[in-house]
Amino acid sequence: MNNLKEYNEKQIAKMIKENRISVADVVDSGICPTCFDKRNDHILYGDNKDRMLYEDDKFECFLVGNPRAVGHTAISTKKHFKDMMEIDDETCKDIFLLAKKVMIVLKKVYNSESVYLCTMCDGPMNHFHIQLIPRYSFENRGSKNFVKPRMEYKEDKGNHLDIFWKICIDMIDIYKL
């Protein structure tokens, strides 16, 4: 269904709850799914507060709910931008500097061999975000890691988030971040 702009948000939310439409339908109708989700009590992607690693007035950084690897993280702008071409230079600089810092922490916390950075904002409507996907020593190198099957998020029962924050604090002290 790609004519959802004929409906108001309450009607669209009702159709989502009734499983009559999907995220793809929202995107194909030219509606930003991320902005819609935030305005409608996280109806599309669910609340991610329990997976939030960092948040400020411009960005959210969180563990992905359907990751391609353990530690798969997304950094999203709070303000809507369809893709990187729409972002002002200052925001672009800031999100990539944040991504670099988070990549360093992810590599250390999850003991990954590398952390891939990608952004794949496509379709009629999207919300700019960066994905950080750890690659482990037992995995093959290369772009196939960007399209690995997604898995269900498993809550980290260890202390990875505690370690993450300790490393962040140490980095702030060491690098004056």
Largest CA distance in the chain: 53
pLDDT (0 to 100) of residue 153:
52
* Phi and psi at residue 74, to the nearest 5°: -120, 145
pLDDT (0 to 100) of residue 29:
87
Residues of the chain with CATH 3.30.428.10: 56-175
- Among 110, 112, 109, smallest CA distance to 136 is for 112
pLDDT (0 to 100) of residue 77:
95
Beta strands in the chain (DSSP E): 52-55, 59-63, 73-77, 114-118, 129-135
| 63-68 LR contacts (CB < 8 Å, sep 24+) | 63/153, 63/156, 64/131, 64/153, 65/153, 66/150, 66/151, 66/152, 66/153, 67/133, 67/150, 67/151, 67/153, 68/133, 68/145, 68/146, 68/147, 68/148, 68/149, 68/150, 68/151
CB 27 within 8 A of CB 121: no
pLDDT (0 to 100) of residue 91:
96
* 127-155 pLDDT tens trace: 999 999 998 888 777 655 555 655 555 55
Q: Hey, is 161 helix, strand or coil?
A: helix
In which residue ranges of the chain is pLDDT below 70?
1-2, 121-122, 142-177
Give the Cα separation of 123 and 107 in Å (integer).
31
Q: What is the CATH number of domain 56-175?
A: 3.30.428.10
